[in-house]
Structure 1
Amino acid sequence: MSDPSLTIDNILAPELTLCRVPASSKKRVLEFIAERIHFQDETLSDTQIFSNLVSRERLGSTGIGEGIAIPHCRLEGLDRVIGVLMTLEEAVDFDAIDNQPVDLVFALVVPKEATSEHLELLSQLAERFNDNAFCTALRQCEDAGTLYQRMTNRNH
């Protein structure tokens, strides 16, 4: 049975919600995600997170279309799920399924053994990002505080 408390709202921290990040490439986006997670928890290796995210991208792009990407990976020794939400200053090529550049990114880093939780969260994200009005509202945010509120309070 998956953990009912495991929702997008519970795994996203304000410190890991970033608005208008200047990233020039997919690689830079993934590096930035790894650096931010390490910055928030120094026990986690940014090199390891980056390398795991890149390995996952090699299996197939996590760009799900419509300018959205959900990069994700598992991490040895992690005891919780970490989410990172970013809007990008300029859309970057992410090898997405529809070849559209990406400007909305939600990264998930999960414990190595958390399979069902991982899939549950991915489906929650996909469902939310399926809502065009919701995505537009996220893209229009000017600051991280607003972005965090819009992602976690679904008042629409």
Structure 2
Amino acid sequence: MPLTDLLAAVRTQVLPAADRDSVLKAAARLLACREANAELLYQNLCQRETLGSTAIGHGIAIPHGRAPLLERPRGALLRLESPVEFGGDEPVDLVFAIAVPAHYTHQHLMLLSELAELFSEPAIRQALREARDGEELRRVIEFPPPASAA
């Protein structure tokens, strides 16, 4: 699945989070197909974080995991009103969480790679940080600003 397909279905939110756990809980709620799945997704995201922080630098984290009950990948983009510690070198204020079906092995790695590339662009990071609400976040990822001249 190309990243553009995932981005078309991503859910977005501006969130006043207090810590990493509250961020992961909010992400799990956005990723869940049904409320009953949110707790399972939350546990899955937390379990992945115990292996090592999913913070990738520049104030960004990409928590991710497999969810056997999903048929298609799901994404959740959150802009935090205040940065939180995420276990990396710097606090995080942009979070893109993904959950993929259990059988997505190669696709999972490709999505993570494409997200890391997307967030490597300073203009995109700045536009996301300036977004006032979920709709603006969605517009930024659907219609990214032009890449900075290298």
The one-letter code matched in structure 2 to 1:124 is E
State how many pairs are aligned.
146
Could you tell me which residue of structure 2 aligns to residue 88 of structure 1?
80
Q: 1:13, 1:29 → 2: CA distance?
A: 22
Q: Provide the residue aligned with 1:65 in structure 2.
A: 57
Equivalent residue, structure 2, for 1:107:
97
Give the Cα–Cα distance (whole angstroms) in 2 for the partners of residues 15 and 126 of structure 1. Answer: 16
1:119-141 C-alpha deviation (Å, 9 max, x unpaired) = 11101100011111210111101
Match of 1:9 among 4, 15, 22: 4
The two structures have a TM-score, normalised by structure 1, of 0.87
Give the distance between the partners of 1:7 and 1:84, measured in 2 at CA: 16
Q: 67, 85, 90: which one pairs with 1:75? A: 67
Provide the residue aligned with 1:35 in structure 2: 29
Unaligned runs of 5+ in 2: none
How far did residue 7 of structure 1 move?
Answer: 2.8
> Residue 26 of structure 2 aligns to which amino acid in structure 1?
F
Deviation at 1:153, TM superposition (A): 1.6
Task: Tell me which stretches of 4 or more aligned residues in structure 1 moved more than 3 Å.
Answer: 12-15
1:120 aligns with 2:110: yes
Residue type at the aligned position of 1:120: M
Tell me the alpha carbon deviations over residues 86-120 of structure 1, each in whole angstroms, 9 at most, x when there is no partner. 10010000011xx2100000001000110111011
Distance 2:46 2:76 in 1: 16
**1:26 alignment counterpart:** 20
Contact 1:25 1:92 survives alignment (8 Å): yes
Describe the SS at the equivalent of 1:12: helix
* TM-score for both structures, normalised by structure 2: 0.91
Which whole-Å CA distance do the structure 1 matches of 2:2 and 2:76 have between them? 13
Post-superposition shift, 1:36?
A: 2.3
Q: Closer, same or farther in 2 for the Cα pair 1:44/1:153, shift >3 Å?
A: farther
RMSD value, Cα = 1.6
Unaligned runs of 5+ in 1: 1-5
